[in-house]
Amino acid sequence: MIDFGFAINKSGTINLDTVDLSLYNELCLKEPTARLCMACGSCSATCTAAPFSGMSLRKVLLDLQRGKDIKPMMSACMLCGKCTMVCPRGINTRNVLLTLSRIYHE
Ligand code: SF4
Ligand code: SF4
């Protein structure tokens, strides 16, 4: 094979028809406001845990809709509730996070 000095990255495309949405659907069943997220990022910008852990509720919700594993990021949340106060869609973000932890512990 000829070495061109660069490599083409693996495709990052996600097939939304085949991803496992069971966790996201279970969350929306238990906390229906989770569906209202418009990914504005206000929660991430004000998150207490973000500066030292990279925690982002916005990313948690987006990754859930893409069938990705969100467990490592979830462990950084300290349930302070700041994200609930800033969410423009009125999402009960604290309960979203609590519900996700409960689902994981079941
Ligand atoms: S409840 Fe969790 S996600 Fe929300 S601001 Fe606090 S640490 Fe961040
Ligand atoms: S602040 Fe609310 S609407 Fe905005 S990304 Fe966070 S959860 Fe979604």
Give the pTM. 0.87
The verdict on residue 14 lying in a domain is no
The verdict on residue 7 lying in a domain is no
Range of the domain at 94: 22-105
The verdict on residue 29 lying in a domain is yes
Ligand 2 pocket, residue 57 CB under 6 Å: yes
Distance CA(46)–CA(48), nearest Å, equals 6
The verdict on residue 91 lying in a domain is yes
The verdict on residue 54 lying in a domain is yes
Hey, whose CA ends up nearest to atom 6 of ligand 1?
80
**In the prediction, which pLDDT does 54 show?**
87
Number of domains in the chain: 1
Q: Is 72 helix (H, G, I), strand (E, B) or coil?
A: helix
Ligand 1 center to 79 CA (angstroms): 5
Ligand 1 pocket, residue 33 CB under 6 Å: no
Please name which of 101, 100, 78 lies closest in space to residue 31, comparing C-alpha atoms.
100
User: What is the mean pLDDT of the segment spanning 4-8?
Assistant: 87
Ligand 2 pocket, residue 91 CB under 6 Å: yes
Q: Is the pLDDT of residue 2 over 90?
A: no
The verdict on residue 2 lying in a domain is no
> Which CATH number covers residue 48?
1.10.1060.10
- Compute the mean pLDDT over every residue in the chain, rounded to the nearest whole number: 92
Percentage of the chain with pLDDT > 90? Answer: 68
The verdict on residue 5 lying in a domain is no
Hey, whose CA ends up nearest to atom 5 of ligand 1?
47
Please name which of 54, 66, 50 lies closest in space to residue 17, comparing C-alpha atoms.
66
The model's pLDDT over 44-74, given as tens digits with 9 standing for 90+, comes to: 999 999 999 989 999 999 999 998 888 888 8
The verdict on residue 35 lying in a domain is yes
